[in-house]
Amino acid sequence: MSGRLGGKVAIVTGGTAGIGEATVRLFVQEGARVVIVARHASGQGDGSTKFVAGDVVDERTAQAAVAAAEEWGGVDVLVNNAAMDWTSSVLETSAEDVRRVLDTNFLGCLLMQQAAGAKMLERSRGSIVNVTSRTASVGVPTMGLYAAAKGALLALTRTAAIEWARQGVRVNAVAPGLTRTQLVRTWIDGQPDPAAFEKQVVSTIPQGRMAEPEEVASAILFLAGDESKHITGISLAIDGGYTAA
């Protein structure tokens, strides 16, 4: 099978919208078969895709996704993209909020990484790409809890990369900045003056624009494929220069 991921089997969580959806489309274009994991996965799939419905916080979801990949020969690539957004000041963050966000944005990724990683280690091959955030590296007001979860995922990325480096399994992260997804659009539209708010947040990006989901997906593709086979343990910023400023 031709393409940069020809013959490979991938699992993409949160694969029905935004960055995840763009990643699935690109992976299929590049020859992969993709198991799409989402809480409300209603599609039936086709010869290149299949759906697993479930919450990544439930261990059974990870096991079901890996089992689905095994039907195609086993998982070669995992993209941990499923997440929930959250904004609140540090003082207004409740213990209940912490558990919800950490469960989805960190624990869910850990469970998927453990299940897929175990199979990759058996075969001495595989690439895991964790989708973190610019907030894992820089402070952004009201994003402390979200940042803490993404920072934990970045730490997990680096540790797993070192633990598995000699066993043929690579673990990397992409760290998107503001990306033109429906989630971000809803956030902007919920402000008192959406146009002024969008202009202000875009002005903080050195390139002067948000990322497109397809641009983040391209970075994920690079880290997933063999072009990056000597790269492990990195965090690749896709933020228009935000974290360099």
* Domains of the chain from N-terminus onward: 9-244 (3.40.50.720)
Mean pLDDT by 10 residues, the chain (245 residues): 92 96 98 95 80 96 98 98 89 92 96 98 98 91 88 97 98 96 88 94 96 98 97 98 92
Catalytic positions are 146
Q: How far is CA 121 from CA 11, 60, 114, 162, 167, in A?
A: 16, 20, 10, 13, 6
Predicted local distance difference test score (pLDDT) of residue 239 = 96
What is the reported pLDDT for 182? Answer: 86
In the prediction, which pLDDT does 180 show? 94
What six digits make up the tokens of 25?
Answer: 């489309």
- Determine the pLDDT at residue 42: 66
Amino acid at 234: I
In this prediction the pTM is: 0.95
Structure tokens at 6: 């020809």
2-to-11, 27, 71, 142 alpha-carbon distances in Å: 19, 12, 21, 45
Strand runs labelled E in 74-179 = 77-80, 126-131, 169-176
Q: What is the pLDDT of residue 2?
A: 80
Q: Cα torsion at 94, 100, 105, 106 (round to 10°)?
A: 90
